[in-house]
Amino acid sequence: MAQATEHAATDGYGRLPPVTTTRWVPSRKADVIRAIRDGVIDRAEACKRYALSLEELRLWERAIDVAGTAGLRVTRVQIYREVFEARH
């Protein structure tokens, strides 16, 4: 099996992070949200693929909507969680 790269481009999902991703930097979170919004993958499949809760995924979406990719930093999510959750 080929070594996972930053973005697994050979699995039919374009720029989605590898399934084995465990370190969620803001750019990887943004890639997942972008793929959902572009119709490449749906929320349920993303949750299953990355072992995420729907709540966490929706929090990422709200963080991007409110503060852009920078809002996906763990410290920002912790600080603004109530704001992000109140937006939907």
Condensed to tens digits (0 to 9), the pLDDT of residues 28-82 reads 999 999 999 999 999 999 999 999 999 999 999 998 998 899 888 876 556 666 6
What is the CA 40 to chain-centroid distance, rounded?
13
Nearest alpha carbon to residue 13 among 3, 25, 22, 5: 5
- Asked if the structure places residue 13 within a domain, the reply is no
Cα Rg of the chain (Å, integer): 13
Q: How confident is the model at residue 16 (pLDDT cuts 50, 70, 90)?
A: very high
- Asked if the structure places residue 25 within a domain, the reply is no
Nearest alpha carbon to residue 59 among 74, 38, 40: 74
| CB-CB contact of 16 with 31 (8 Å) | yes
- Asked if the structure places residue 63 within a domain, the reply is yes
- Asked if the structure places residue 9 within a domain, the reply is no
Q: How confident is the model at residue 17 (pLDDT cuts 50, 70, 90)?
A: very high
pLDDT value for 11 = 52
- Asked if the structure places residue 80 within a domain, the reply is yes
pLDDT value for 83 = 63
Which residues constitute the domain of residue 59?
42-86
- Asked if the structure places residue 52 within a domain, the reply is yes
- Asked if the structure places residue 74 within a domain, the reply is yes
- Asked if the structure places residue 60 within a domain, the reply is yes
User: Between residues 47 and 10, which one has the greater pLDDT?
Assistant: 47
pLDDT value for 88 = 54
Q: Which amino acid is at 63?
A: A
Q: Distance (Å, rounded) from C-alpha 71 to C-alpha 80?
A: 8
Q: How many domains does the chain have?
A: 1
